[in-house]
Amino acid sequence: MSPGLVIHHFGSKDDLRVACDRHVAALIREQKSDSMRAGAGLDPMAALRTYSDGPPLLAYLARTLVDGSPHVSELLEELVADAVAYMAEGEANGLLRPSDDPHARAAVLLLWSMGALVLHEQAARLLGVDLLGAPDQLLGYLRPALEVMGQGVMTPDAYDQLAGAVRTDDAPAATGAEPTPTHGATPTQEA
Amino acid sequence: MSPGLVIHHFGSKDDLRVACDRHVAALIREQKSDSMRAGAGLDPMAALRTYSDGPPLLAYLARTLVDGSPHVSELLEELVADAVAYMAEGEANGLLRPSDDPHARAAVLLLWSMGALVLHEQAARLLGVDLLGAPDQLLGYLRPALEVMGQGVMTPDAYDQLAGAVRTDDAPAATGAEPTPTHGATPTQEA
DNA sequence: CATCATATTGAACATGTATTCAATCTCTTC
DNA sequence: GAAGAGATTGAATACATGTTCAATATGATG
C-alpha cells in the first residue's frame, strides 16, 4: 500500500482509523446478533476468536480500547446493555445470582474482560496464556476466571462484613468504628 | 524544561521513561511494604490514591501498562506473588475461599484490577466513576466489584455444570455430549 | 573574586511520519 | 480500441519529534 492511497480513499490516516473502528464495531455487532439468533448467550468474543480474522481483530480492539475511540466506546455501551439483558435472562433461568445493580455489575464484568484483553501481554507473562491466540490455549485464563465468577473469592462471613462497609449511604460517615473505609480500591488484595 | 536537559540527565528520552518506570515501581513497592508493616492486607493501590501524587502516578501506571515496560511487568509479577501470600493468609483466617490454582487466581484478579485502571476512560463512560480520582468517588466501582468478588455471579448449580466443562483434562476430548467447549472466552456473558 | 563543575538553554540537525500532487496504470463503457 | 473515471504510485513537501552541541547561567570551592 502506498501512502497516497489511504489519503485518496479516506482523506487522512486518522479517518482511516475511524473507518476501522466503525468496521470492527460493526463486525462484532454482527457476530453478536448471529450468536443471539443461534443459541442464547454465546459469547460473541469467543465466536470472533473462531473466525479466521478474529484474533487480529481482537488485537486491534485491544489497541483501540485504550485511546478511547468514540465508536469503540459506543460499542462497549451496547455490549453492556446486551449483557444486562442476557444476565436478566440467566437470572430468570436460575443460572445467575441477582444483583443490587445489574447495569453496574455488567459494566464491571465487561471492563474486566476487556481489561484482560488490553493487557494480553501481561497476561502472557503472568499466566502463560495468549488471550489473542487459539481458543484451546485459553483454559489457563478461563479456569481461574470461572472460579472467581462462579463462587467469588470470599467466604460468606467476610463478604457480609465488607458489604456492610460499602453500603449505599454514600458518605463514609455512619459506623464510627472504622474511620477510613479504604478497604481496597482494587478488589485484588483484601485479605 | 528544555529538550536538551533530559538528554543531558538521562541520555535519551527513552531512558527517561525507563527511569520513570523504575521510579513508579519503587514507589508502589515502598507503599506496599509500608501498608504491610502497618496492618495486614491493606491495598497499596488504595493507599497510593490517598498520597498527594497518587492519582497522577496511577495515570502514568495505566498508560505504561499497555506498552509492556519491563519494569512494570516485573512489578506486576511481584504484586501477584504478594497477592498469593496475602490470599493464603486470608484463607487461613477463614476470609477467602480456597482455590484450585492460587497463583492463577491472583493473576486474574490483578489483571482485572489493572485492566479496569487502564480502561478508566471507558469506566468513566460506563459507570460514571473516575478510577483515577478521589477515593470517595470509587464506590460506584467498588460496590459491583465487591458483589462479584464476594459471591460470584453464578448460582451453585450453574457453576458446577460449567466447572465440569473446563476440567483439568486439557484437550476438549472426553464427555462427548458437548462437542465445542466455546462456553465463553470472556467470562462476561454466559447466560 | 576566580575557577571549575555542573545545570540549562536554544538553535541546528536528523529522522520519521502525514500529506500533497502530478503522473501513470487499470479497468469499464461505448 | 478510444475515452474516461477511478485506482495507484512515488517523489516533493510539510510537520512533528528526538538528538547534538556550542554557548551561557548557576552555584560551589579555593
B-chain residue closest to A165, CA distance: B143
With residue B141 as reference, give the H or E element that holds it.
helix B139-151
Q: Is the CB of B67 under 7 A from strand D?
A: no
Taking only the tens place, the pLDDT of each residue in B84-132 is 988 888 888 888 899 999 999 999 999 999 999 999 999 999 999 999 8
* Candidates A46, A105, A187; nearest CB to B184: A46
Q: Is the CB of A156 under 7 A from strand D?
A: no
Shortest alpha-carbon distance between residue A7 and chain B (Å): 28
Residue B103 pLDDT = 96
> Taking 70 as the threshold, does the pLDDT of residue B172 lie above it?
no
Task: Look at phi and psi of residue B29 and say left if phi exceeds 0, alpha if psi is from -120 to 50, else beta.
Answer: alpha
Q: Is the CB of B9 under 7 A from strand D?
A: no
Helices (H), chain A: 3-10, 13-38, 44-50, 54-65, 70-92, 102-118, 120-127, 139-151, 156-165
Taking only the tens place, the pLDDT of each residue in A57-102 is 888 999 999 988 888 898 899 889 988 988 888 888 888 899 999 9
Residues of B with Cβ-Cβ distance to A55 under 8 angstroms: none
Whether residue B46 and residue A138 make contact (CB cut-off 8 A), yes or no, is: no
Q: Which of B153, B157, B168 to mutate to test the interface with A (most CBs of A within 10 A)?
A: B153
| pTM, two decimal places | 0.83
Q: CA-CA distance, B5 to A189, in Å (whole number)?
A: 40
Mean pLDDT of chain B: 80
Digit-by-digit pLDDT tens for chain A (191 residues) are: 888 999 999 999 999 999 999 988 888 888 777 766 655 445 656 666 666 667 788 889 999 999 888 888 988 998 899 889 888 888 888 888 999 999 999 999 999 999 999 999 999 999 999 998 887 788 899 889 999 998 899 999 888 888 777 676 544 443 434 444 343 344 444 43
Residue B14 pLDDT = 93
Q: Is the CB of B14 under 7 A from strand D?
A: yes
In Å, what is the CA distance from B11 to each residue of A141, B15, B23?
40, 6, 17
CB atoms within 10 A of CB B6: 15
Residue A171 pLDDT = 47
CA of A18 to C1' of C24 (A): 30
Q: Which residues contact A56 (CB under 8 A, 6 or more apart)?
A: none
Residues of A with Cβ-Cβ distance to B152 under 8 angstroms: 97, 148-152
Shortest alpha-carbon distance between residue A113 and chain B (Å): 6
Shortest alpha-carbon distance between residue B143 and chain A (Å): 6
Residues of A with Cβ-Cβ distance to B124 under 8 angstroms: none
Q: Which of A33, A122, A166 to mutate to test the interface with B (most CBs of B within 10 A)?
A: A122
